[in-house]
């Protein structure tokens, strides 16, 4: 039994890719996309039809050039999601424009629009997770959307305050970013590259896992953004792990046996009172790494969205 097969016994495997060949090969339960992966997919010759179809859709819908651009971008997101859903039994995570990350109402409207577009093509909302950055505004959007049975994946999660607020708002799923936390500590020369037992990204997810399970929160924890298989194996037992094809391949080619690391407790204790908005912002602000990485992540996803829009504009 290779490590990927063994890992499946402890954790639900999710593919962190929009590449259909990789998804078919590794047979994950779910798949996740983000603006960077969408941009990569659109730049592939295989997906040029998606681009043309999206532009035709936008022109048919009409409206101003700006409205057509938004509609074409949303169409690409949905159509790529539908394409991926043919090869997985579970969820596709589709990410809302990062530029909306500080506006609760706009995130709600965008999420409902995306879900409607999926449903118009016969895809149930039960198979789609709307990805939102884990800002206070997006956490509150996810809380509202759940009332309409629209479930969310809160991404770009770095701080314990973000994780706690998500659980207290009954968010469906969170994606703590292991590798990006690790990157920050490496860049700051605070850890060595091979300090696997002191990896701050792994430690962060372990802390979230223990807090959630101890208090019996139902929010799913999906570790994300891995830099090596050591991070993955140290989180075996986490509810879900979203893994790139490169690391899935490495796990598949390795037969070294490992033990499950994360195990839920058998008893629970009463959770603390929920964080207020003021408490959330203060606690998150106390974590320099999390403040920097959340802001950076939103900016970079926004840049990739703009690059996608430039590609669309050239063809409109």
**Structure confidence by residue, pLDDT tens digits, 80-126:** 999 999 999 999 999 999 999 999 999 999 999 999 999 999 999 99
Residue 44, pLDDT score: 80
Tokens 């078919």, residue located: 24
Q: Which residue is catalytic, options 131, 213, 214, 261?
A: 131
Residue holding tokens 């971008």? 73
At residue 25 the predicted structure's pLDDT band, cuts being 50, 70 and 90, is: very high
Write down the architecture of domain 3-315 according to CATH.
Answer: Alpha-Beta Barrel (3.20)
Does residue 202 carry a pLDDT above 90? yes
Annotated catalytic residue 131: yes
CA distances from 73 to 141, 185, 244, 294 (A): 21, 35, 24, 23
Residue that has been written with the tokens 């708002």 in this structure: 169
Mean pLDDT of 18-45: 91
Determine the pLDDT at residue 40.
Answer: 86
Give the mean pLDDT of the chain: 96
Query: Is the model's pLDDT at 263 over the cut of 90?
Result: yes
Cβ–Cβ < 8 Å for 11, 261: no
pLDDT (0 to 100) of residue 34: 87
pLDDT at 194 over 80: no
Q: How confident is the model at residue 47 (pLDDT cuts 50, 70, 90)?
A: confident
Domain boundaries, the chain: 3-315
pLDDT top residue among 148 and 315 = 148
């Amino acid at each position: 039994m290779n490590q990927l097969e063994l890992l499946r016994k402890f954790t639900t495997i999710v593919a962190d890719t929009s590449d259909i060949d990789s998804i078919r090969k590794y047979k994950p339960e779910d798949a996740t996309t983000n603006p960077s992966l969408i941009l990569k997919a659109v730049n592939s010759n295989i997906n040029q039809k998606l681009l043309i179809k999206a532009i035709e859709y936008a022109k048919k819908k009409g409206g101003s050039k700006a409205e057509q651009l938004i509609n074409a971008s949303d169409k690409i997101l949905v159509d790529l999601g539908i394409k991926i859903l043919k090869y997985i039994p579970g969820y596709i995570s589709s990410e809302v424009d990062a530029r909306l990350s500080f506006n609760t109402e706009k995130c709600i409207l965008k999420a409902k629009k995306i879900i409607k577009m999926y449903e118009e093509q016969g895809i149930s909302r039960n198979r789609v997770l709307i990805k939102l950055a884990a800002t206070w505004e997006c956490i509150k959007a996810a809380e509202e959307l759940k009332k309409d049975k629209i479930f969310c994946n809160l991404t770009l999660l770095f701080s314990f305050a973000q994780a706690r607020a998500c659980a207290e708002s009954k968010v469906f799923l969170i994606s703590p970013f292991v590798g990006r936390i690790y990157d920050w500590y490496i860049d700051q020369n605070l850890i060595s590259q091979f300090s696997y037992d002191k990896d701050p990204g792994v430690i962060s997810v372990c802390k979230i896992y223990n807090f959630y399970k101890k208090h019996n929160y139902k929010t799913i924890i999906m570790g994300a953004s891995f830099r090596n298989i050591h991070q993955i194996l140290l989180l075996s037992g986490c509810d879900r792990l979203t893994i790139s094809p490169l690391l899935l391949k490495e796990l598949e080619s390795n037969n070294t046996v490992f033990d499950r690391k994360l195990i839920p407790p058998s008893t629970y204790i009463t959770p603390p009172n929920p964080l207020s908005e003021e408490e959330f912002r203060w606690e998150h602000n106390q974590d320099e790494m999390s403040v920097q990485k959340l802001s950076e992540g939103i900016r970079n996803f926004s840049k990739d969205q703009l690059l996608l829009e430039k590609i669309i504009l050239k063809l409109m």
